[in-house]
Amino acid sequence: MTERAKGRCVAVARWQRLDIEGDDTCRLIAGAEGWMLSGHARMAGPEGRSRLDYVVWADAEWRTTGADVTGTQDGRPVGWRIRRDAQGWTLDDQRIAGLDGATDVDLSFTPATNLLPLRRLAPVAGAVVPVTAAWFTYPQIALAPLVQSYERLSDTTLAYRSPDFQARLTADPSGFVTDYPGLWRGAVTDD
């Protein structure tokens, strides 16, 4: 086991998907070198049944360093490797242009990755915090920039905005979003 894989579980989020059949469970793990999200998303949509396992690594300042997504889509094995280094972002070892300034990965199939900018930026009440994420879309696979913003409305409520979506999110003190209107509803535990 590598040093990166060792760690202590800080919180566990469990969500039910609201727009299609599905669920997701993610663990937030504190490690010697930073943070790790380890999750399991299951869903049934127009493309068939998907079972996706994901791991996202972030450094001590909550900046994404990489992510792996593996599993099955309609019974067929799938997998992708996302990395961020000093030169930018790669998807399956192919350099992706246009992601300058992107610090976070945003996996489209889970609410887990909203935690990264929320923990890194810790938005204060009334301040709008802009973020550009490397957005991994699924099932149409791409890694592209997604400009978004977070505004803290209360201790637990945030206004989220992106070009095609706006919502009031509810977040747990851990940073996990627990209510993503119309898409996800969940709870966080420390086990």
> Which stretch of 1-10, 15-24, 61-70, 165-174 has the lowest confidence by average pLDDT?
1-10
Q: From the centroid of its chain, how far is CA 22?
A: 16
* pLDDT above 80 for 4: no
The average confidence (pLDDT) of the chain is: 93
Domain ranges (residues) in the chain: 3-189
Instruction: Give the pLDDT confidence of 105-146 residue by residue, as tens digits.
Output: 999 999 999 999 999 888 788 889 999 999 999 999 999 999
Give the span between the Cα atoms of 43 and 19, in whole angstroms: 10
Q: How confident is the model at residue 190 (pLDDT cuts 50, 70, 90)?
A: confident
Q: How confident is the model at residue 95 (pLDDT cuts 50, 70, 90)?
A: very high
Give the span between the Cα atoms of 22 and 24, in whole angstroms: 7
